[in-house]
Chains A and B, each alone.
Chain A
Amino acid sequence: MAKIEPGMEAMLDMYFFETNSLLEQLDEILLRTEQANAFDSEDIKEIFRIMHTIKGSSAMMGFDNLSVLAHKAEDMFFVIRENPELVTDVSFVYDLVFQVSDSYKAQIEAIQNNVGGEYEQFNFDELIDKLLKAKDKLSGEAIGEAPAAEAAPAAAAPASSDKQKTSVRVFFEDGCQMENLRAFLLINTIREECSFLEYYPADVETNPETSKEIIEHGFLITFSAEDNQDYILKQIETALNVQSYEVLAAPTEAPAAEAPKAEIPPEPAKEAVQAAPENPAATPAPTESAIEKAQAAVANAAAQGGSQKQSLISVNLAKLDALNDIVGEIITTESMVISNPDLEGLELESFSKAARDLKKLTGELQDTVMSIRMVPLSGVFQKMNRIVRDMRKKLGKDVEFVMEGEDTEVDKSIVDSLQDPLMHLVRNCMDHGIEENVNDRTANGKPAKGTLKLTAQNSSGEVVITVSDDGAGIDPEKILAKARRQGVLTKPESEYTVKEIQNLILLPGFSTNEQVTEFSGRGVGMDVVKANVEKCNGTIVVDSKKGEGTTFTIKIPLTLAIIDGMEISVGDIVFTVPISTIRESFKVEPEQILRDTDGNEMIMLRGICYPILRMHEKFGIETEVTDLKEGILLLVETDNKSMCIFADKLIGEQQVVVKPFPKYLARYDIKGEGLSGCTIMGDGSISLIIDTNTLIG
Chain B
Amino acid sequence: MTNDVIKEAVAKQQSGDRKLVADNTILGKVMTFNIGEQVYGIEIQHVVEIIGMQRITKVPHVPDYIKGIINVRSKVVPVIDIRTRFGKPEIPVTSHTCIITLSFNETSVGIIVDNVANVEDIHSSDISATPENKNVNTNAFIQYMIRSDDNSEQTKLILDVAKLLDEQEA
Contact = CB atoms under 8 A, between A and B. Distances in A.
Nearest to B61: A673
Contacts of A328: 74
A670 interface: yes
A665 B62 contact: yes
Interface stretch (B35-43, B65-73, B92-100): B65-73
Contact of A621 (B58, B66, B71, B73): B58
Interface stretch (A265-273, A356-364, A584-592, A656-664): A656-664
A688 B71 contact: no
A619 B71 contact: no
Nearest to A324: B74
Given A661-B69, A664-B165, A686-B70, A669 B61 contact: yes
B84 interface: no
A620 interface: yes
B3 interface: no
Contact of A680 (B63, B76, B168): B76
A665 B79 CA distance: 10
A685 interface: yes
Contacts of A680: 71, 74, 76
Contacts of A686: 57, 69-71, 76
A317 to B, nearest CB: 17
A332 interface: yes
Q: Which of A332, A668, A686, A688 has the most CB of B within 10 A?
A: A686
A226 to B, nearest CB: 74
Interface string B146-170: 0000000000000000000100110
Interface string A178-201: 000000000000000000000000
Given A663-B107, A664-B165, A665-B78, A670 B62 contact: yes
B60 A678 contact: no
Interface in B69-91: 69-71, 73-78
B119 interface: no
A329 interface: yes
A659 B75 CA distance: 9
Given A662-B69, A662-B108, A663-B106, A573 B57 contact: yes
B22 interface: no
Given A661-B69, A662-B108, A663-B106, A688 B78 contact: no
Contacts of B62: 665, 668, 670
B10 interface: no
Contacts of B69: 661-662, 665, 678, 686
B58 A684 contact: no
Nearest to A663: B107
B109 interface: yes
Given A662-B78, A662-B108, A663-B107, A668 B61 contact: yes
Interface residues of B, number: 25
A258 B108 CA distance: 81
A670 B60 contact: yes
B33 to A, nearest CB: 20
Interface string A307-340: 0000000000000000001101100100000000
Nearest to B165: A664
Contact of B59 (A618, A667, A670, A684): A670
Interface string A659-697: 101111101111001010010100011111000000000
Contact of B73 (A329, A665, A688): A329
A619 B59 CA distance: 8
B55 interface: yes
Given A659-B76, A661-B76, A664-B108, A685 B71 contact: yes
Nearest to A657: B74
Nearest to B168: A667
Nearest to A330: B74
A685 B78 contact: no
B51 to A, nearest CB: 12
A686 B58 CA distance: 9
A680 B72 CA distance: 10
Nearest to B62: A668
Q: Which of B55, B59, B75, B78 has the most CB of A within 10 A?
A: B59
Q: Which of A664, A680, A685, A687 has the most CB of B within 10 A?
A: A664
Contacts of A670: 59-62
A684 B71 contact: yes
Nearest to B166: A664
B73 A573 contact: no
B109 A664 contact: yes
Nearest to A668: B62
A665 B59 contact: yes
A328 B76 CA distance: 12
Contacts of A673: 60-61
B80 to A, nearest CB: 8
A332 B60 CA distance: 25
B60 A685 contact: no
Contacts of A687: 57
Nearest to A679: B76
B60 A619 contact: yes
Contacts of B60: 618-621, 670, 673, 675
A164 B55 CA distance: 91
A172 B77 CA distance: 61
Contacts of A619: 60
A680 B75 CA distance: 9
A185 to B, nearest CB: 52
B109 to A, nearest CB: 5
Contacts of B168: 667
Nearest to B55: A685
A361 B58 CA distance: 33
A216 B109 CA distance: 63
Given A662-B69, A663-B106, A573 B76 contact: no
Contacts of B169: 667
Contacts of A675: 59-60
A329 B55 contact: no
Contacts of A665: 59, 62, 66, 69, 78
A616 B55 CA distance: 19
A669 B169 CA distance: 13
A556 B69 CA distance: 29
A44 to B, nearest CB: 50
Nearest to A331: B74
Contact of B74 (A329, A620, A668): A329
A50 to B, nearest CB: 40
Nearest to B60: A619
A332 B71 contact: yes
A662 B77 contact: yes
Contacts of A668: 61-63, 66
Nearest to B56: A686
A663 to B, nearest CB: 5
A624 to B, nearest CB: 17
A664 B74 contact: no
A649 B73 CA distance: 28
A556 B59 CA distance: 28
Contacts of A620: 60
A326 B75 CA distance: 10
Contact of B76 (A618, A621, A662, A669): A662
5 contacts: A663-B107, A664-B78, A670-B59, A673-B60, A687-B57
Given A325-B75, A664-B78, A675-B59, 19 more contacts: A325-B74, A326-B74, A332-B71, A573-B58, A618-B60, A620-B60, A661-B69, A662-B76, A662-B108, A663-B107, A667-B169, A668-B66, A670-B61, A670-B62, A680-B71, A685-B55, A686-B57, A686-B69, A688-B57
Closest 7 CB pairs of A and B: A686-B57, A619-B60, A329-B74, A328-B74, A662-B78, A664-B78, A668-B62
